[in-house]
Amino acid sequence: MNRASVVLLVVLCGLLGVSLLVGAAGLGVPDWLILWQIRLPRTLLAALVGAGLGLSGAVLQGALRNPLADPGLLGIGGCAALGAVIAFYWGVAAAFAGALPGAAMLGAALGCGMLMAFSGRALSGPSLILAGVALSAMASAFIALALSLAPNPFALAEITFWLMGGLEDRTLAHLALAGPPILLGCALLLRLGRRLDALSLGEATAATLGLPVGRTLMLASVGVTLAVGAGAAVAGGIGFVGLVVPHLLRPVAGQRPGALLAPSMAGGATLLLLADLLARLAPLVLPLGSEPRLGVLTALLGAPFLVRIARQVAP
């Protein structure tokens, strides 16, 4: 593990501690019930979901050879949220535990599959991003449609959660549902380092280096599906983490895709935890009715980076 990862891990541990001390009940050590049932699941989920998003972004960028790749921007997060919406509002999620993240993972798998198929046609970088943005727009539209058709008359009001994410009032049950798939997905993705390095020379050359290209892309898809799908099921649609974190870490950890994986995982956890802390602090400081959406905070941070990266990428 290189230095960047170690530093990030230390910062992350610090933030985890701080996070347990911040909430609507005020700053400082709270009641045991609040700590255990509210702040702990929320803190751990922010770290886990963020880790999954950061690592997925790094892997997608390596696999698609595109610095603009991000599970939110490319529509994988949106497809996952769509799967979750359909499962939740039509009662499938209540049928058995695990149905909700399962449906979200199914959505993410479809989104991933479509993206890999687009990439296989050797589209140029910008074209791939366009395809991803189109997929994301379609997913958002279908989420809105699904919510408006849901048997619950108030479903459409919950659209901001599904499109822009949030971690308020998440429970230990949510942690138990999303934690294992995210960890499994991350474990899978972390092992793809050298393979992604080989891919930086192009799929043809990578094949001659002995890399099973198709299988590598499939493994990347499975890992991203697990991490992003489970995350979207409990936290809604959060984007830009997978875009910003690898970009910020490249000057420090190096340009090799393999070198970015572990740091991006730690960096993603740190970033989302920070955003969540901000979301909790904002109502304590400003006259806000409710917490700002997590996805809004990450988008506010990520959009300028998107512009900056897009200008560096040759047209």
Q: Which is nearer to other proteins, 151 or 315 (CB)?
A: 151
Minimum distance between the CB of residue 25 and other proteins, rounded to whole angstroms? 4
Q: Per the structure block, which two tokens stand in for 263?
A: 């740091």
Cβ atoms within 10 A of the Cβ of 140, count?
18
Distances in whole angstroms, Cα of residue 191 to Cα of each of 18, 55, 186, 197, 258: 31, 11, 9, 12, 9
Q: Which is nearer to other proteins, 166 or 185 (CB)?
A: 166
Minimum distance between the CB of residue 10 and other proteins, rounded to whole angstroms? 27
Chain residues in the site for other proteins (CB under 8 A) = 23-26, 30-31, 33-34, 37-39, 65-66, 88-91, 93-94, 150-155, 157-158, 161, 168-169, 171-173, 194, 197-202, 204-205, 207-211, 254-257, 289-291
- Helix runs in 90-192, H state only: 92-95, 99-120, 125-149, 159-164, 172-190
Q: Per the structure block, which two tokens stand in for 162?
A: 């599904």
Q: Which residues contact 170 (CB under 8 A, 6 or more apart)?
A: 41, 42, 45, 234, 235
Minimum distance between the CB of residue 254 and other proteins, rounded to whole angstroms? 8
Q: Which is nearer to other proteins, 226 or 234 (CB)?
A: 234
Q: Which is nearer to other proteins, 251 or 307 (CB)?
A: 251
Q: Which is nearer to other proteins, 127 or 152 (CB)?
A: 152
**3-state secondary structure at position 238:** coil
Q: Which is nearer to other proteins, 42 or 225 (CB)?
A: 42
Q: Per the structure block, which two tokens stand in for 148?
A: 């408006």
- Helix runs in the chain, H state only: 3-19, 32-34, 40-64, 76-89, 92-95, 99-120, 125-149, 159-164, 172-190, 193-199, 203-208, 213-235, 241-253, 257-285, 294-312
Write the DSSP symbol of residue 39.
I
Q: Which is nearer to other proteins, 10 or 209 (CB)?
A: 209
Minimum distance between the CB of residue 237 and other proteins, rounded to whole angstroms? 14
- Residue 309: CA count within 13 A, CB half-sphere: 22
Minimum distance between the CB of residue 206 and other proteins, rounded to whole angstroms? 9
Minimum distance between the CB of residue 291 and other proteins, rounded to whole angstroms? 8
Cα torsion 91, 94, 96, 97: sign: positive
Cβ atoms within 10 A of the Cβ of 54, count?
35
Minimum distance between the CB of residue 67 and other proteins, rounded to whole angstroms? 8
